[in-house]
Homo-oligomer: A and B are copies of this chain.
Amino acid sequence: MAGNTFGKAFKVTTWGESHGAAIGVVVDGCPAGLELSEEDVQRELDKRAPGRSELATARREEDKVAILSGVFDGRTLGTPISMLIWNKDVDPSPYEALKNVARPGHADLPYFLKYGHRDWRGGGRASARETAARVAAGAVAKKLIRTYGIEVVAHVVEVGGVRARIEGLNFEEIRRNVEHNDVRCADLETAKEMRRVILKAKEEGDSVGGIVEVIAWNVPPGLGEPVFDKLDADLAKALMSIGAVKGVEVGAGFEAARLRGSEMNDEFYVERSEDGVRIRTKTNRAGGILGGISTGMPIICRIAVKPTPSIRKRQKSVDFVRLEEVELEIKGRHDPCICPRIAPVAEAMVAIVLADHLLRNKLARA
């Protein structure tokens, strides 16, 4: 019983194999009347596209999206939005030699054991290429949540043990800075050091991991549904469903385990401004979510990204058809650090969760 759809009101279904004819996505449940163009989607896809930096894989995909349905005269129809991206720079040859080999850290073996039959070319369905479809859907979600004033940004806060310093930066500065370096780090100085760490690993035929933070700004209170579809629960699922993510935390996250209640609790206060009266918290260790429902404070979550499993270094593994041990060297074209390209995907997934819950929350009161 497959699981290629995310969301209950804003439903995203992706399809496609890395080296098949195309990849794509159907967004069902986007309300009618929203302005949407191919340019809106293309802009987001370009953030994730490969072949544009020495930090990323050399696979050259234009990743030009076509919107095939659901939009008429520049606005959505309330019907499914089907988007398609052709696979062009397809070269399965480096994968052929390894088609029965379980590449360490990859899903080859579990796919083989689960399905019996699999598309071994470039990871098939398990390829990171699938995330382009998520980014396309995320572009629609962003347009929708923006009508409520919500903005989302993802930025790389740690790479190979090097941490960014972002304490003084506000939301707009973070958004601006990430566009100015190919690591997508908001701390422009540390970004340079991160680049060096990544390129050094690449040179050595190895790879590094890191941490990406996602911030959602201007999220109204009330999003999230008790008890299983809590906002943080859906964020955790959305983010953990991205390949290479091994951990998700919200607000203080794992640090919360070491705090006392009196330190962890955010104190409420009343803020009176021109915009009216709002209840806010002085600190935001909750990360904008209490009891699974947004509080009105910014939503902050972080993901742990493992180092790219495809490395040039020699590794030991197994031919799962012959049941023999083998040695392998992975050629293909790979990112020495996946964090910069995971950031737009994380942004997309958070936008999709917020779009879904914005719609769902419309049904909370009679």
Contacts and interface: CB of A to CB of B under 8 A. Distances in A.
Contact of A21 (B66, B222, B361, B363): B66
A72 interface: yes
A102 B104 CA distance: 49
Q: Which of A26, A230, A257 has the most CB of B within 10 A?
A: A257
Nearest to A162: B258
Interface string A335-366: 00000000000000000000000011111111
B228 A117 contact: no
A347 B206 CA distance: 37
Given A4-B80, A264-B309, 10 more contacts: A77-B118, A78-B117, A113-B221, A115-B364, A125-B226, A207-B260, A263-B307, A264-B306, A267-B317, A363-B363
B306 A257 contact: yes
30 contacts: A2-B28, A3-B8, A3-B226, A6-B228, A13-B13, A14-B80, A15-B82, A21-B68, A21-B69, A32-B115, A33-B365, A68-B84, A109-B295, A110-B222, A110-B224, A110-B291, A111-B291, A111-B293, A207-B261, A208-B261, A209-B260, A236-B248, A240-B250, A246-B256, A247-B253, A261-B311, A267-B316, A270-B318, A270-B325, A359-B363
A171 to B, nearest CB: 21
Given A125-B226, A249-B304, A209 B257 contact: yes
Interface string A108-149: 011101111111000011100010000000000000100100
Contacts of A33: 115-117, 365-366
Given A114-B293, A254-B211, A318 B366 contact: no
Nearest to A326: B268
Tell me the interface secondary structure of chain A in the complex. mixed
Interface in A197-256: 201, 206-211, 221-222, 224-230, 232-241, 243, 246-256
A365 B107 contact: no
Interface in A1-36: 1-6, 8-9, 11, 13-17, 20-24, 26, 28-34
A237 to B, nearest CB: 4
Contact of A287 (B78, B246, B364, B366): B246
Interface residues of A, number: 156
A3 B261 contact: no
Contacts of A316: 267-269
A360 to B, nearest CB: 4
